[in-house]
Amino acid sequence: MLFRLGNVALALLVFVIVGGTTLAGILVGRRLQAHRDEVKEPIGAVQAALLGFVGLLLAFGLSMAVGRYEGRRDAIVTEANAIGTAYLRAQMIAEPARSESVDLLRSYAAERLRLAHVVTDTRTFDESVASSADMQRAMWKVAGQALDTAPQDTAPRLYVESLNSMFDASASREGAFFDRIPDTVVALQIGGAAVSLGVLGLYLATLGRRVIAASLAAVMVSLILMVALDLDRPQRGFITVPTRALTSLVSSMQLDPASPAP
């Protein structure tokens, strides 16, 4: 749900919900100043409990977002290593499968790098995934022909094995794109933060104290929420997954193969 929103729209939504609830609490608290002796104790107990709860909730949500971010980063490195291994082993098989495989792997690596800069859940993303799948079928066909030509040779078998690992790595990476924090958890984070800060503003305003603390708390909590949400928005938010491993691999594959044809 929130994943499809743009960065500005998402930030406005979070700040309006959290800030608006905090402001509403402050306004209500000022109206209750005449009854502060009656409401001070119960509101104080409630706001303390809610603040502790929202602190745990924010920490839980942030840890989930960081874990998924690290999973996407590791998936890119794993796939880059798998493609690199397949590229090296492709140089060991006989022609014409060798040249065909090397060219396909170069195109495949470039496509997988492009995928890292395409927004998930879009038509362009689906087209890139489909293009990668077509290249995988083409590489598997060439590998099968190489294995039929020399069924006793070790090189074709190793190449087939590396292709299988490469395909598994691509599936894991594509799955990591969609491994996001559930919408119910996000809604609970935003709603819990809004209610807690609203009660904090109500409590401070009821006591007749300055409400700048509640305003600052609303800003800080909103920023924490934005960081957690941004970590969970691959290719769409400000925090992106590093692609250095794939970028270096694509650059190295533009060089002539290190091993001559057998």
pLDDT on residue 144 = 92
Q: With cut-offs at 50, 70 and 90, classify the pLDDT of residue 34.
A: low
pLDDT tens, position by position, 56-66 = 888 888 888 89
Per-residue exposure over 184-194, b if at least 16 CB sit within 10 Å of its own CB, e if not: ebbeebbebbb
For 147, other C-beta atoms within 10 Å of its C-beta total: 18
Contact 235, 120 (CB under 8 A): yes
CA distances, 162 to each of 127, 238, 250 (Å): 25, 34, 18
CA gap 116, 76 in Å, rounded: 9
* Average pLDDT value for residue range 116-145: 92
pLDDT tens, position by position, 198-246 = 888 887 777 766 678 778 888 888 888 888 888 888 777 788 888 999 9
CA gap 201, 177 in Å, rounded: 38
Q: With cut-offs at 50, 70 and 90, classify the pLDDT of residue 44.
A: low
The pLDDT of residue 51 is above 60: yes
CA distances, 70 to each of 99, 118, 244 (Å): 35, 19, 14
CA gap 230, 236 in Å, rounded: 8
pLDDT tens, position by position, 61-113 = 888 889 999 999 999 999 999 999 999 999 999 889 899 999 999 999 999 99
pTM (two decimals):
0.83
Mean pLDDT of the chain: 86
pLDDT tens, position by position, 165-196 = 999 999 999 999 888 888 888 888 888 888 88
The pLDDT of residue 16 is above 80: yes
pLDDT on residue 209 = 65
pLDDT tens, position by position, 147-172 = 888 888 888 999 999 999 999 999 99
Amino acid at 227: V
